[in-house]
């Protein structure tokens, strides 16, 4: 058992260090600049200040000619309302400058405003379709027109489309057509390029998603740029953008994510003449480029289409979709393109996804309370692992029965470690006790525990989900009352972490029920574990603390029952 307890102590210590790094690591440094020469010149975004210095006012005659040759009229901004969201499109670059979700709020208070997905730190917007000869920061100053006559567009049950136009200095007429769907966060975006010049024009259409960089790295789930390329999810940390700024191959989608929400561009079903319908092509060959925009501290994810060569008068249409919304598997799966792969729970994803499905099933069909769903799911797991737990606790009970004999051996041979270990092993053989049998069943359960842990932390279903009483948000730390004073090691809001304190007490009780290790130093360490975990869990979401608390209570009950039955 000595070896088993030592192994368990190592596992728990490793977990403590991981959680400590997660909770108390220093905030991430500002976004690193992109290394010179790391990407092609056309993909390197220019700082806004530099763009303003380089740009010169349009020639009045050229501006007048542009107004004549470009369809529609200048519109300032256009607001689109759907049952799921409202969005604002600016005439500057025809970019999305606001995107407000109606089914999610900024905070848990019922009076809180709807969730805004375009960060206040992002002055540009997102969803830009631009040419390689025009960096996106310069392109955001290009003024588009539209043929839509109103300043608002209301969708109720039917899709609606709006087109925006811009004439480039090279003679390419850009038509950017958005199609909004009333029951989806997907926005169809077709871009038609028409060569109005009298010479052959070669250019590359790019689509960029832009948002503010993550403010800190103290998140257990990934935040930043990611993409699904060549059948694999690629997540690039902000600090690694200068080293991994280009992804090539079969691109299904690329975008930006935080813990609960994301934005992405999805290449469509091909390209062709403007009059053609989209053709189904299995592969979307292209590339994804990542860049850090300085000094705005923004991240730009760009999908680069295949180059197009346009003869005078010729047109080419590119088909894309944008997704701006929650990281909810059902909504993502409905879009296709493997967009549901954006929800990833790490190494144990194959276990966590069924856990999420079960939790949602319990909530949707049994009890409409995610706190109770977590409790029922924890009980289900405990029943599944009951035989393994029983074996583990039976071994612990047998070891506890041998403690007096082992204490005598240690006292008798305290100056002869070799002889002491030989007699202890002989004691194990005499009573047919396997010291490792108490730990191995627990080790088998660790993947499920970690998977459930990751699932609870990253599930948008728990965001602002109430349990009971003061626990009105299972994705936030539980706090009873609210204090105006700062409490060390506690993240705001400051209050009494009732669930966490109870959880720590159950860990202490469970530790007291277990047979003490023979090594005094190891024994002291094991008794400190409940205290360490209590401090660590202070800032964890209430849903995670609830899971750990219920699991502890069930384990204590099972351990007490098996111990009484064995002894």
pLDDT per residue as tens digits for the range 498-527: 999 999 999 988 888 776 665 666 667 777
DSSP code for 59: P
Contacts of 334 (CB under 8 A, 6+ apart): 184, 186
b/e 134-154 (16+ beta carbons within 10 angstroms → b): bbbbbbbebbbbbebeeeebe
pLDDT in tens, 65-102: 444 467 888 999 999 999 999 999 999 999 999 999 99
| Average pLDDT taken over every residue of the chain | 82
Does 11 have pLDDT greater than 80? no
Find the mean pLDDT for residues 106-122: 94
Instruction: Please name which of 533, 541, 551 lies closest in space to residue 12, comparing C-alpha atoms.
Output: 533
Find the mean pLDDT for residues 393-401: 78
Q: Which of 404-408, 498-502, 554-558 has the lowest mean pLDDT?
A: 404-408
Does 249 have pLDDT greater than 70? yes
What is the percent of the chain with per-residue pLDDT over 70, rounded to a whole number? 81
Q: What is the pLDDT of residue 51?
A: 35
Q: What is the pLDDT of residue 279?
A: 40
Does 38 have pLDDT greater than 50? no
Q: Do 502 and 549 contact (CB within 8 A), yes or no?
A: yes
The pTM is what? Answer: 0.81
Q: Do 267 and 303 contact (CB within 8 A), yes or no?
A: yes
Find the mean pLDDT for residues 150-169: 94
Q: Do 525 and 488 contact (CB within 8 A), yes or no?
A: no
Find the mean pLDDT for residues 334-352: 92
Q: Which of 12-16, 275-279, 391-395 has the lowest mean pLDDT?
A: 275-279
**Higher per-residue confidence, 437 vs 347:** 347
Alpha-carbon span 80 to 82, nearest angstrom = 7
Q: Identify the top-confidence range among 48-52, 286-290, 405-409, 520-524.
A: 286-290
Q: What is the pLDDT of residue 217?
A: 54
Q: What is the pLDDT of residue 530?
A: 86
Instruction: Please name which of 164, 214, 219 lies closest in space to residue 191, comparing C-alpha atoms.
Output: 164
Alpha-carbon span 564 to 551, nearest angstrom = 20
Find the mean pLDDT for residues 283-295: 81
Find the mean pLDDT for residues 325-343: 95
Q: Do 257 and 67 contact (CB within 8 A), yes or no?
A: no
b/e 53-65 (16+ beta carbons within 10 angstroms → b): eeeeeeeeeeeee
Q: What is the pLDDT of residue 347?
A: 86
Q: Is the dihedral of CA 56, 58, 61, 66 positive or negative?
A: positive
Find the mean pLDDT for residues 34-47: 36
Q: What is the pLDDT of residue 441?
A: 62
pLDDT band at 359 (very low <50, low <70, confident <90, very high): very high
Q: What is the pLDDT of residue 557?
A: 92
Contacts of 54 (CB under 8 A, 6+ apart): 46
Find the mean pLDDT for residues 213-219: 67
Give the distance between the most distant pair of CA atoms in the chain.
104
Q: Do 566 and 397 contact (CB within 8 A), yes or no?
A: yes
Alpha-carbon span 267 to 246, nearest angstrom = 16
**Coil, helix or strand at residue 107:** coil
Does 265 have pLDDT greater than 70? yes
Alpha-carbon span 212 to 441, nearest angstrom = 45
Architecture of the CATH domain 41-335? Distorted Sandwich (2.70)
**Higher per-residue confidence, 288 vs 273:** 288
Neighbours of 10 (CB within 10 A): 10
Find the mean pLDDT for residues 301-328: 94
pLDDT band at 24 (very low <50, low <70, confident <90, very high): very low
Q: What is the pLDDT of residue 515?
A: 64
DSSP code for 514: S
Q: Where are the domains of the chain?
A: 41-335, 353-566
Alpha-carbon span 189 to 207, nearest angstrom = 10
Q: What is the pLDDT of residue 3?
A: 39
Contacts of 67 (CB under 8 A, 6+ apart): none
Find the mean pLDDT for residues 445-471: 88
Q: What is the pLDDT of residue 352?
A: 93
Rg (CA), the chain: 30
Does 245 have pLDDT greater than 80? yes
């Amino acid at each position: 058992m000595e070896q088993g307890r030592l192994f368990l102590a190592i596992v728990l210590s490793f977990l403590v260090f991981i959680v400590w790094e997660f909770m108390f690591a220093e905030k991430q440094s500002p976004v690193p600049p992109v290394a010179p020469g790391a990407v092609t010149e056309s993909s390197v975004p220019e700082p806004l200040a530099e763009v303003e210095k380089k740009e010169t006012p349009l020639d009045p005659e050229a501006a007048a000619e542009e107004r004549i040759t470009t369809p529609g009229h200048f519109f300032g901004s256009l607001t689109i309302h759907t049952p799921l969201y409202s969005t604002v499109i600016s005439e500057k670059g025809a970019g999305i400058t606001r995107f407000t979700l109606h089914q999610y709020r900024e905070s848990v208070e019922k009076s809180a405003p709807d969730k805004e997905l375009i960060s206040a730190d992002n002055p540009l917007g997102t969803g830009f379709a631009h040419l390689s000869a025009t960096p996106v920061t310069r392109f955001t100053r290009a003024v588009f027109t539209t043929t839509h006559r109103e300043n608002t567009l209301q969708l109720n049950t039917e899709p609606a489309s709006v087109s925006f136009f811009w004439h480039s200095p090279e003679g390419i007429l850009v038509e950017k057509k958005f199609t909004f769907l009333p029951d989806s966060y997907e926005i169809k975006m077709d871009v038609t390029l028409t060569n109005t010049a009298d010479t052959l024009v070669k250019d590359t259409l790019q689509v960029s998603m832009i948002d503010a960089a993550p403010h800190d790295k103290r998140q257990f789930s990934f935040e930043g740029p990611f993409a699904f390329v060549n059948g694999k999810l690629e997540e690039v940390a902000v600090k690694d953008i200068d080293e991994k700024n280009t992804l090539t191959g079969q691109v299904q989608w690329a975008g930006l994510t935080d813990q609960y929400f994301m934005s992405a561009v999805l290449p469509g079903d091909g390209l062709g003449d403007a009059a053609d319908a989209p053709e189904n092509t299995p592969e979307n060959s292209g590339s994804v480029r990542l860049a850090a925009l300085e000094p705005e501290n923004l991240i730009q994810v760009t999908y680069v289409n295949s180059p197009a060569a346009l003869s005078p008068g010729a047109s080419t249409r590119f088909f894309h979709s944008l997704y701006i919304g929650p990281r909810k598997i059902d909504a993502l799966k409905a879009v296709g393109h493997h967009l549901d792969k954006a929800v990833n729970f790490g190494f144990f994803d194959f276990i966590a996804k069924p856990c999420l499905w079960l939790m949602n099933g319990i909530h949707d069909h049994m009890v409409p309370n995610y706190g109770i769903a977590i409790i029922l799911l924890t009980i289900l797991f405990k029943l599944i692992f009951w035989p393994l737990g029983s074996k583990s606790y039976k071994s612990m009970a047998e070891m506890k029965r041998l403690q007096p004999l082992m204490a005598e051996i240690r006292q008798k041979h305290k100056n002869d470690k070799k002889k002491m270990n030989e007699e202890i092993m002989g004691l194990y053989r005499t009573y047919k006790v396997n010291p490792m049998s108490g730990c191995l069943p627990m080790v088998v359960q660790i993947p499920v525990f970690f998977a459930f842990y990751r699932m609870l932390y990253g599930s948008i279903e728990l965001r602002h989900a109430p349990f009971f009483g003061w626990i009105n948000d299972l994705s936030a730390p539980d706090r009873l009352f609210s204090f105006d004073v700062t409490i060390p090691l506690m993240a705001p809001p400051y209050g009494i972490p009732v669930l966490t304190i109870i959880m720590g007490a159950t860990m202490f009780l469970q530790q007291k029920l277990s047979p003490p290790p023979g090594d005094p130093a190891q024994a002291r360490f094991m008794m400190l574990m409940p205290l360490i975990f209590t401090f660590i869990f202070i800032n964890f979401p209430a849903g995670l603390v609830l899971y750990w608390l219920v699991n502890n209570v069930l384990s204590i009950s099972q351990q007490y029952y098996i111990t009484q039955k064995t002894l």
